[in-house]
Amino acid sequence: MENIALVVGASGITGSNLAEKLISNGWKTYGLARKPNTNIENLEPVAADLLDLNSLKTALKDIKPTHIYITTWMRNDTEAENIRVNGLMVRNILDVLSEKKSVQHVALVTGLKHYLGPFEAYAAKGFLPETPLREEHPRLNIENFYYAQEDEVYAAATRDGYSWSIHRPHTVIGKTVGNAMNMGTTLATYATICKETGRKFTWPGSAAQWNGLSDVTDARILAEHLIWASTTEAAKNEAFNVVNGDVFRWSRLWHKIADYFEVEAIGFEGEIHPLEKEMENDTDLWLEIAQKYRLQENSLNRLASAWHTDLDLGRPIEVMTNMAKSRKLGFNVFQDTEETFFELFDQLRQGKLIP
């Protein structure tokens, strides 16, 4: 039987990289989004609103996917609203496709907030798990929209008889525009601004993050992991951490990034300097930079997500994940994290997103 993928959120970091990988592997691939990605060759765009059942029914009328990859979410003002909205989005897509009886597997991408807590209580005192993070760590006794999304997948899989997998990446690094959580491009835009203005490339985060060990997830590794889990019998009906496979210290990488952009790095010097505040007045400056260098995107807000980078780099503990579960089941793909960042920066330059 032909593998037919529906990538929900195909315009984001995870979804776009996954779509490209699926297509390169010979899958017929549909990419669903409110504003579909039309830049990927052979990706079939599907325009739909996950909160509108009629929109979904119309858009998916003639599509019978064998594999669904849910890679999107919507940010709201409170965690209660995050739970309502993001749980409903998952429920709607699975309900609409239920009657087709074509689905074999559903893969859901969440993240490390599963262990660290939601945005409102992100890595707050009382919610700090033991690291390295392991999949068997129990759910926190606190509201978390990731749990709501998982529960929707579990319920639909039980109802319709297909397998599932849950994927929990650390910070995802990859090329995209308009993504709500985009550390790699955020740091690239910040460094570009520092280079253009002569400002110092100042570490925005905590002492624990500066000095401790960390890891990240290359979007290409996540794509490989999603396809592996959805097509490997032993990996079905399991939750997995997924990261590059190495660890690093920001105290080294920060200076390496500064060297790449030829700016002066300033490390942790006793207090946090939030990037959101550092960049709050740079919107017009970025417009000038974009015009000067004829860049493809002149909106800083579509490239940088300083608020999310601050959450990650401001954590009061070092954060890294354990990948033993995937390794034992046969997933052995590895990515050097320094190369992840520098290859992204090269891509951003080649795509005229930074000078």
Number of H helices, E strands in the chain: 15, 13
As a dihedral over the C-alpha atoms of residue 225, residue 186, residue 81, residue 149, rounded to 10 degrees, the angle is 0
Distance CA 351, CA 193 (A): 18
Q: Is there a cis peptide before residue 132, judged by omega within 30 degrees of 0?
A: yes
Distance CA 29, CA 21 (A): 10
CB environment 183-196: b (16+ within 10 A), e (fewer) = bbbbbbbbbbbbbb
Please give the DSSP secondary-structure letter assigned to residue 304: -
| Phi, psi for 268 (deg, rounded to 5) | -70, 125
For the chain, first and last CA: distance in Å?
A: 46
Looking only at Cα atoms, what is the longest distance across the chain? 59
Distance CA 184, CA 17 (A): 15
CA distances, 52 to each of 58, 69, 90, 92, 173 (Å): 10, 19, 12, 8, 30
**235 close to 165: Cβ distance less than 8 angstroms:** yes
User: Residue type for 167, please?
Assistant: H
**Which of 30, 115, 146, 147 is flagged as catalytic?**
146
**Which of 21, 30, 69, 113 is flagged as catalytic?**
113
Q: Which residue has the tokens 């490997």?
A: 232
Half-sphere exposure in the Cβ direction for 34 (13 Å, CA): 9
Residue 146 a catalytic site member: yes
Residue 113 a catalytic site member: yes
Which active-site residues does the annotation give? 113, 146
